[in-house]
Amino acid sequence: MATVAETARKVQSGEISSESLVQASLAKIEATKGLNAYISVLGEEALDRARILDKRAAAGEKLGPLAGIPVAVKDNIVMSQGRTTCGSKILGEFRSPYDATAVERMIAAGAVPVGKTNLDEFAMGSTSETSAFGAPRNPLDENVIAGGSSGGSAVAVASGSVAVALGSDTGGSIRQPASCCGLVGVKPTYGRVSRYGLVAYASSLDQIGTFGGSVADAALLLNSICGWDRHDSTSAQVVVPDFTASLNKGIKGKIIGLPKEFFGVGLSQEVRSVVMKALETLEKAGAVMREVSIPSFQYAVASYYVIATAEASANLSRYDGVRYTIRSKNAKDLFSLYANTRSEGFGEEVKKRILLGTYVLSSGFYDAYYMQAQKVRRLITEDFNKAFSACDVVVSPTMPTLPPKLGEIFTDPMAQYLGDIYTVAVNLAGLPASSQPVGRVGKLSVGLQFIGKAFQEEELLQVAAATEKLCAN
């Protein structure tokens, strides 16, 4: 199968047309609509954009590295075309007046957005089942979850309607769906990609990233969206290297850290077996395995759910029925307008997280919960820094178990949150991480997560690409 870079070169040369790629993408979206990957499809808009690109190519104009490539966009990343719903009834008809910076940059690189993808409501979840538009279906096995919260983007790539897609990752929302659907998912360093136009869940944790069928494809899309942005005060003024330049350098001599805390209680035997086999393969290829320690890891999930819900409570207060949301018809005064709009518009998981966040920020509990969680966050960051003094990258399973069946997770809410155990610490520390498939158990895929040093995506992706070649799924 051709890579995204190869296909883009063919569009640039006129060997194939962007219009034909978009038509094929739209046809595949229609053929796989039962998977519920998309909330909205940008059919005519995408075809119009593709025709313009084809005319520019025919005129000899230099297009970008994503020339003519159809791309799906998670529906919490705003676009001036179509709706941005965040998977919620409260934003069911919201239309943004502008494009997110990541979307602007992707389009400038020649990409053609073909649709907005399904997700957990306001990105709150790890299964995509909290969406007001129904859960997306995993192409590997439609009876199990697609992962969340960027499940729709993962399903779009896994089902072949697009080669690459944008997602967002607050506590594993790119890496977990990538693991569930047998894809590559990359969450960059916090600040590497502008959050301008990403609808906020937890502002100090959210980061836009990419999905692809290969490391090279995901890296190419990531390159197009990175860089400083004056619209985002948390955007880092750091040079963006070519992430694809080191993909063929191999893994020999790379020191891979294995935190002893990551391979203990809670890791299923099925996942452990696949992961350990992959690590043995890497060691035979010249990688050096070294045990490291992240002692604060045991507090990561608790810390994450305090910080994330606190920030969600603040961020979601803007949805009040006055401005750009639905408005309750049962309101008699301002208070009932707020209360009824939120009660009718938000789903149960979102309400639960808002309540929890409001509680931990309330008088008498702020110091006991929120401030303690922030202290733990600092410890986690320091522990990762110590680990990186002894290794190049840190490795773990992406998920502790195989993807559960649809609906199963709601019988045990704690199991849902503990499913995030390997991914949330990365967001707390603001580090880059990737997940890629390294084996299967029956039809289901097992993902391996690599965690890199801050702003060292190039090295992270070098290791990921070598692993991809050595452990072809």
Phi, psi for residue 115 in degrees, rounded to 5: 180, 165
Please check whether residue 394 is in contact with residue 387, taking contact to mean a CB–CB distance below 8 angstroms.
yes
Beta sheet of 207-212, edge-to-edge order: 38-41, 112-117, 70-74, 164-169, 207-212, 184-187, 433-441, 444-451, 393-397, 255-259, 288-292
Measured at the alpha carbon of residue 318, what is the angle toward residues 313 and 319, in degrees to the nearest 5? 95
- Whether 173 is a known active-site residue: answer yes
- Name the catalytic one among 17, 25, 74, 168: 74
- Name the catalytic one among 17, 96, 149, 445: 149
For residue 198, the SS3 value is: strand
ω into 149 cis (within 30 of 0): yes
- Whether 74 is a known active-site residue: answer yes
Please check whether residue 337 is in contact with residue 321, taking contact to mean a CB–CB distance below 8 angstroms.
yes
For residue 40, the SS3 value is: strand
What pairing do the DSSP bridges indicate for beta strands 255-259 and 288-292? Answer: parallel
- Whether 194 is a known active-site residue: answer no
Cα of first residue to Cα of last residue in the chain, in angstroms, is 15
Residues near 427 by Cβ (< 8 Å), separated by ≥ 6? 169, 170, 171, 172, 187, 190, 205, 207, 304
CA pair distance 2, 78, nearest whole angstrom: 29
Residues near 179 by Cβ (< 8 Å), separated by ≥ 6? 147, 185, 398, 399, 403, 435, 437, 445, 446, 447, 449
- Name the catalytic one among 150, 168, 173, 224: 173
Where in the sequence numbering do the catalytic residues fall? Answer: 74, 149, 173
